[in-house]
A and B are shown apart, each in its own frame.
Chain A
Amino acid sequence: MTAYLVRRLLLFIPVVLGAALFVFFVMQVLPGDVAQLILGEEARASSVAVEQLREHLGLNRPLYEQFLSWLWGVLRLDLGNSLWTGRPIMDELIVRIPVSLELVSLGVILSVIIGVPAGIVSAIKRETLFDYAVRSVAYCGQAIPNFWLGIMVIITLVTVFRWLPPISYSSLIENPIENLLMMAAPAFVLGFRQTAVTARMTRSCMLEVLNEDFVRTARAKGLLERAVLLRHALANALLPIITIVFMEFAYLFGALIVLEHVFNLPGMGSFIVEAIYRRDVPTAQAIILFLALVVALTNLAQDLLYGLLDPRIRYS
Chain B
Amino acid sequence: MLSLRGHLRVLAACSLSLSIVLGACAPSAAPPAANPPAPSRPAAAPTAAPAAPAPSSPAAPSTSGPSPTATPRASAPAAPAAQNAKYGGVVQRYQRVEPANSDITQLPSYIHIWPWVPVFSLLVMRDLNAGGKLTGDLAEQWQASPDGQSYTFRLRNGVKWHDGAPLTAADIKFSFERAADPPIGTVSPRGGLYSDLIQSIKTPDPSTVQFTLKRPSASFLDLVSDEGSLIMPQHVVAARGQMKDNPVGTGPFKFQRWARGTRIDLVKNKDYFLKDRPYLDGVTTLIIADPATQLAALRAGRVDMSPQSSTGITARDIEILKKSTPGIIFQQSETLSYFGPTLNVTKEPFKDIRVRKAFFLVYDQPELIRLVAPGDGAPGGIMSASVDWSLPKNELAAIPGVKRVTPQDIDAAKKLLAEAGYPNGLSLPYQARRGAEWVRSGEVLGEQVRRAGFNLAIKTVDDATLFKSLSDGTFEVAHGVYPVAIADPDYYLVYFRSDSPNNASGYSDKELDGLIDKQARTLNVAERKTIVSDIQRRLLEQFLLRPAYFPINAQAWWGYVKGYASPQVGLGNNNFRDVWLDK
Interface, chain A (partner B; CB < 8 A): 30-34, 36-47, 49, 52-53, 56, 84-87, 91-92, 95-96, 113-114, 116-117, 120-121, 151, 154-155, 158, 161-164, 166-169, 181, 184, 226, 229-231, 261-264, 266, 270-271, 277-279
Contacts and interface: CB of A to CB of B under 8 A. Distances in A.
B483 interface: yes
B293 A263 contact: yes
List the 10 closest pairs (A to B, CB-CB), nearest first.
Answer: A32-B464, A266-B261, A40-B189, A164-B300, A42-B483, A46-B501, A44-B471, A31-B465, A163-B26, A117-B7
B464 A84 contact: no
Contacts of B108: 37-41
Interface string B297-322: 10110110000000000000000000
Given A114-B11, A162-B26, A43 B262 contact: no
Contacts of A154: 292-293, 296
B292 A262 contact: yes
Contact of B260 (A38, A92, A114): A92
Contacts of B501: 44-47
A164 B462 contact: no
Nearest to B499: A46
Contacts of A56: 184-185
A224 to B, nearest CB: 10
Given A164-B302, A168-B262, A264-B290, A42 B109 contact: yes
Nearest to A42: B483
Contacts of A121: 4
B4 A37 contact: no
B488 to A, nearest CB: 16
B465 A230 contact: no
Interface in B234-276: 242, 244-245, 259-263
Contacts of B8: 117
B289 interface: yes
B471 A168 contact: no
Contacts of A113: 7, 10-11, 14
Interface string B1-37: 1011001101100100010011001100111000000
A165 to B, nearest CB: 9
Nearest to B101: A85
B187 interface: yes
Q: Which of B22, B29, B108 has the most C-beta atoms of chain A within 10 angstroms of its own C-beta?
A: B108
Nearest to A113: B11
A205 to B, nearest CB: 16
Contact of B293 (A37, A49, A229, A262): A262
B290 A163 contact: no
Nearest to B297: A167
Contacts of A30: 464-465
A191 B21 CA distance: 19
Contacts of B184: 52, 56
A158, A184, A277, most chain B CB atoms within 10 A: A158
21 contacts: A32-B463, A33-B468, A36-B468, A40-B190, A41-B108, A42-B483, A44-B501, A85-B101, A86-B242, A117-B4, A162-B26, A162-B300, A163-B300, A164-B300, A168-B286, A169-B259, A169-B262, A226-B4, A266-B261, A266-B262, A278-B464
B296 A155 contact: yes
A266 B260 contact: yes
A199 to B, nearest CB: 13
B101 A86 contact: yes
B244 to A, nearest CB: 6
A49 B191 contact: yes
B115 to A, nearest CB: 14
Nearest to A178: B25
Contact of B286 (A49, A120, A158, A167): A167
Contacts of A279: 464
A37 B300 contact: no
Contacts of A168: 262-263, 286
A93 to B, nearest CB: 11
Contacts of B38: none
Chain A binding surface SS class: helix
Contacts of B288: 167, 264
A56 B292 CA distance: 39
B410 to A, nearest CB: 34
Contacts of B299: 158
A41 B292 contact: no
Interface residues of B, number: 62
Contacts of B189: 38-40, 43, 45
B260 to A, nearest CB: 6
B30 A162 contact: yes
B570 to A, nearest CB: 15
B68 interface: no
Nearest to B15: A114
B187 A53 contact: yes
Given A230-B1, A279-B464, A163 B471 contact: no
A151 B287 CA distance: 17
A150 B463 CA distance: 27
B465 A32 contact: yes
Given A39-B187, A44-B467, A270-B261, A226 B3 contact: yes
B508 interface: no
B289 A264 contact: yes
B262 A229 contact: no
Nearest to A116: B7
Contacts of B297: 164, 167
A167 B471 contact: no
A161 B296 CA distance: 12
Contact of A42 (B10, B259, B481): B481
Contact of B468 (A32, A91, A158, A163): A32
Contacts of A116: 7
Listed residue (B30, B244, B469, B501) with the most chain A CB atoms within 10 angstroms of its CB: B501
A278 B292 CA distance: 24
A158 B303 CA distance: 14
A167 B4 contact: no
B261 A181 contact: no
Contacts of B464: 30-34, 36-37, 277-279
A33 B462 CA distance: 12
A263 B11 CA distance: 25
A44 B502 contact: yes
A300 to B, nearest CB: 25
A264 B296 CA distance: 12
B289 A261 contact: yes
Contacts of A92: 260-261
A87 B7 CA distance: 47
Contact of B187 (A38, A164, A277): A38
Contact of A151 (B21, B260, B289, B292): B292
Contacts of A270: 261, 289
B470 interface: yes
Contacts of A41: 108-109, 463, 467
Contacts of B470: 44
B506 to A, nearest CB: 13
A95 B260 contact: yes
A202 B187 CA distance: 57
Nearest to A231: B1
Contacts of A261: 289-290
A36 B504 CA distance: 14
